[in-house]
């Protein structure tokens, strides 16, 4: 796959993109050199802003982040302890009254996205497939992170987030009782929160259209949700979910375990579809390997159910829709995985194996009170991820990710001829993504975060074009990612 990726990149990467990549690399390394050989922070740098936790505790971003937003083991322990250091300075009573725990983040950028085999109008408005490429200056959505402690051992997090049009939604809303009964093994969180994924998608180091998410966290077989499906089944283990979480950890955070009871609505507000509940569990153990660092291995599993049709419908103006929250005919699904985080001093690898299974009704978009298509089966798939970081120093991190999804069983019979009611091949929907880039932090402070972000990602999905051919897309992004 690496061979495929590199050859494909050579084939498709336009000369302009190559020029820009080279230009940014040269600029970045010039900047690195201009500081010092060791590229260490200098005390002369002054910034006027105060990101919430850095301001509260007076520590540089690099304490809690290997390279922000990715957490270091120290930052993970701080988060697991309810955004508390564990000393007497955690309660807001110790803050200046003017302290306001808010940080916002946005990324002005130039990006180029190229989508292969997109269905477009051809001559005479007959449909054809074409490569559609766009590029230009743009900006990301805006995140307002407000988080901290309401009192000692009572923490909170509220994250109104917008897309780049300014349309806001609540990405996270939760309160947490920490260290109940004086034990770090008893922490209860209620609200909408990120699942306790060791490889946090919310702290992903890549931002471009095709590299900015983990495919395994959102993959659903291509046969799901056909046109006209009664209740669309959408789920992503990377999506924030709504429910209650118990989490426990050892004092030094080497052992972590959590279990959640969640509403089966994929984190959407107002219970739009289901009255069901899902469960998520996660456990990991870290161990010290001398000077190499803290190694960690873990497992996780999400066991859910989703409705396939509505109990009640309403027809208004000739349009029939299901009554929100009355979804029934629940069918189950699961996602499980193993993860390893391996540190070799400045070099680290995250490896993940992922397994998904959906009930045949979900896999074919069939209501539970209807008959399954002939030959329908539960779709299953496997996925893998290898993410590599080289953390040259707190100011520069090189990133590479290889991610793959492989269908092991299609929901519908495979027919290479593409007969109606079949899928064209056993690898229909398979995904490969290679993402590479770097983030350079020209200064490290306890006041604000700033990164030159440079990234290229190439994505291929089998049989995804309108005519059933492979779709190959790419995204290139240069941006100023900053938090204040």
Partner 1 sequence: MRTAKITKLVLGIAAALAVPMLASAQGESHVGKYAGDTGAGKQLYYRYCWGCHGFRGDGNGENGPYLNILPRNFVAATFKCRSTPTGTLPTDEDLFNALTRGFNNSNMPAWITLTAQNRADLVAFIKTFSPRWKSDKPGDPIAVPAEPALSLQSIQHGKELFTKLECWKCHGAEGRGDGPSASTLTDSNDQPIRPYNFAAGSRFKCGATNHDLYKIFMTGLDGTPMPSFADVIKPEDAWDLVHYLRTLQITQKSPELTLWMSTKEGAEYVKAQKVGGTPTGSGIKQ
**Per-position DSSP letters for 307-373, written without gaps between them:** -SEES-EEEETTEEEEPTT-EES-EEEEEEEEEEEEEETTEEEEEEEEEEEE-HHHHHT--TTSPPP
Cα 392 off chain centre by? 24
Residue 259 interacts with partner 1 (CB under 8 A): yes or no: no
Phi/psi at 421 (nearest 5 deg)? Answer: 75, 15
Pick one of 293, 307, 322, 329: the residue that binds partner 1 (CB under 8 A): 293
CB atoms within 10 A of CB 370: 12
d(CA 312, CA 352) in angstroms, rounded, equals 41
Phi/psi at 42 (nearest 5 deg)? Answer: -115, 150
Q: How far is the CB of 8 from partner 1 (least distance, A)?
A: 37
Nearest to 432 by CA among 391, 399, 471: 471
Residue closer to partner 1 by CB (options 7, 252) is 252
Which residue stretches of 135-259 are H helix? 215-218
Residue 92 interacts with partner 1 (CB under 8 A): yes or no: yes
Q: Taking a C-beta distance cutoff of 8 angstroms, is the pair 424, 463 a contact?
A: yes
Residue closer to partner 1 by CB (options 57, 104) is 57
Residue closer to partner 1 by CB (options 151, 261) is 151
Span from 147-155, 193-201, 376-384, 464-472 in contact with partner 1 (CB under 8 A): 147-155
Pick one of 1, 272, 288, 421: the residue that binds partner 1 (CB under 8 A): 288
Tokens 């807001």 locate to: 92
Take residue 171 and report the two structure tokens written for it: 């990405």
Span from 162-170, 225-233, 277-285, 288-296 in contact with partner 1 (CB under 8 A): 288-296
d(CA 153, CA 158) in angstroms, rounded, equals 17
In the range 157-216, which residues lie near partner 1 by CB under 8 A? none
Q: How far is the CB of 393 from partner 1 (least distance, A)?
A: 7
Residue closer to partner 1 by CB (options 92, 413) is 92
Residue 58 interacts with partner 1 (CB under 8 A): yes or no: yes
Residue 446 interacts with partner 1 (CB under 8 A): yes or no: yes
Tokens 């969180």 locate to: 189
CB atoms within 10 A of CB 136: 9
d(CA 251, CA 5) in angstroms, rounded, equals 43
Residue 63 interacts with partner 1 (CB under 8 A): yes or no: yes
Residue 59 interacts with partner 1 (CB under 8 A): yes or no: yes
Residue 76 interacts with partner 1 (CB under 8 A): yes or no: yes
Residue closer to partner 1 by CB (options 58, 127) is 58
Q: How far is the CB of 155 from partner 1 (least distance, A)?
A: 12
Residue closer to partner 1 by CB (options 91, 132) is 91
Query: What pairing do the DSSP bridges indicate for beta strands 127-139 and 396-409?
Result: unpaired
What are the C-alpha distances in Å from 383 to residues 142, 411, 472? 31, 17, 19
Residue closer to partner 1 by CB (options 58, 119) is 58
Take residue 271 and report the two structure tokens written for it: 């219970």
d(CA 242, CA 260) in angstroms, rounded, equals 9
d(CA 459, CA 456) in angstroms, rounded, equals 10
Binding mask 335-374 toward partner 1 (x if CB under 8 A, else -) reads ----------------------------------------
Binding mask 297-336 toward partner 1 (x if CB under 8 A, else -) reads ----------------------------------------
In the range 37-56, which residues lie near partner 1 by CB under 8 A? 38, 40-43, 46
Pick one of 13, 49, 85, 469: the residue that binds partner 1 (CB under 8 A): 85
Q: How far is the CB of 247 from partner 1 (least distance, A)?
A: 16
What residues make contact with partner 1 under the rule CB under 8 A? 38, 40-43, 46, 57-60, 62-63, 73-74, 76-78, 85-94, 151-153, 251-253, 288, 290-291, 293-294, 393-394, 445-447
């Amino acid at each position: 796959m690496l061979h495929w990726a590199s050859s494909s990149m050579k084939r498709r990467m336009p000369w302009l993109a190559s020029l820009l990549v080279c230009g940014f690399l040269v600029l970045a390394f010039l900047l690195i050199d201009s500081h010092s050989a060791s590229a260490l922070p200098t005390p002369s740098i002054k910034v006027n802003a105060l990101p919430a936790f850095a301001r509260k505790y007076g520590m540089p971003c690099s304490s809690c982040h290997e390279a922000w937003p990715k957490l270091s083991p120290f930052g993970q322990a701080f988060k697991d302890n309810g955004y508390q250091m564990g000393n007497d300075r955690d309660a807001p009573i110790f803050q200046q009254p003017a302290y306001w725990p808010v940080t916002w983040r946005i990324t002005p950028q130039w990006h180029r996205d190229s989508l292969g085999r997109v269905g477009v109008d051809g001559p005479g408005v007959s449909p054809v497939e074409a490569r559609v490429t766009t590029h230009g200056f743009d900006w990301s959505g805006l995140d307002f992170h407000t988080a901290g402690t309401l009192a000692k051992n009572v923490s909170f997090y509220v994250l109104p987030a917008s897309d780049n049009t300014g349309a806001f939604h609540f990405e996270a809303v939760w309160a947490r009782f920490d260290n109940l009964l004086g034990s770090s093994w008893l922490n209860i969180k209620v609200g909408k929160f990120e699942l306790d994924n060791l490889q946090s998608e919310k702290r992903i180091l890549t931002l471009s259209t095709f590299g900015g998410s983990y495919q395994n966290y959102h993959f659903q077989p291509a046969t799901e949700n056909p046109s006209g499906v009664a209740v669309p089944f959408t789920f992503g283990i990377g999506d924030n979910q709504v429910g209650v979480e118990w989490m426990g950890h050892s004092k030094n955070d080497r052992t972590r375990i959590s279990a959640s009871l969640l509403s089966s609505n994929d984190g959407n507000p107002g219970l739009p579809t289901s009255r069901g509940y899902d469960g998520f569990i996660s456990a990991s153990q870290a161990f010290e390997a001398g000077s190499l660092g803290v190694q960690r291995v873990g497992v996780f599993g999400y066991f859910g159910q989703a409705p396939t049709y509505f109990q009640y419908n309403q027809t208004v103006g000739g349009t029939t829709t299901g009554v929100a929250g009355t979804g029934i005919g629940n069918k189950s699904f699961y996602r499980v995985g193993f993860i390893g985080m391996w540190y070799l001093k400045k070099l680290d690898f995250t490896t993940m194996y992922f397994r998904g299974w959906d009930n045949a009704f979900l896999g074919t978009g069939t209501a539970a009170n209807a008959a399954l298509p002939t030959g329908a089966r539960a779709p299953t798939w496997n996925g893998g991820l290898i993410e590599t970081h080289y953390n040259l120093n707190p100011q520069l991190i090189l990133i590479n990710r290889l991610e793959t999804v492989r269908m092991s069983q299609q929901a519908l019979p495979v027919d290479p001829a593409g007969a109606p009611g079949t899928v064209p091949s056993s690898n229909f929907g398979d995904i490969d993504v290679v993402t590479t880039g770097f983030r350079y932090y020209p200064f490290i402070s306890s006041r604000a975060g700033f990164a030159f972000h440079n990234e290229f990602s190439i994505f291929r999905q089998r049989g995804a074009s309108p005519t059933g051919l492979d779709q190959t897309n790419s995204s290139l992004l240069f941006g100023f990612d900053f938090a204040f």
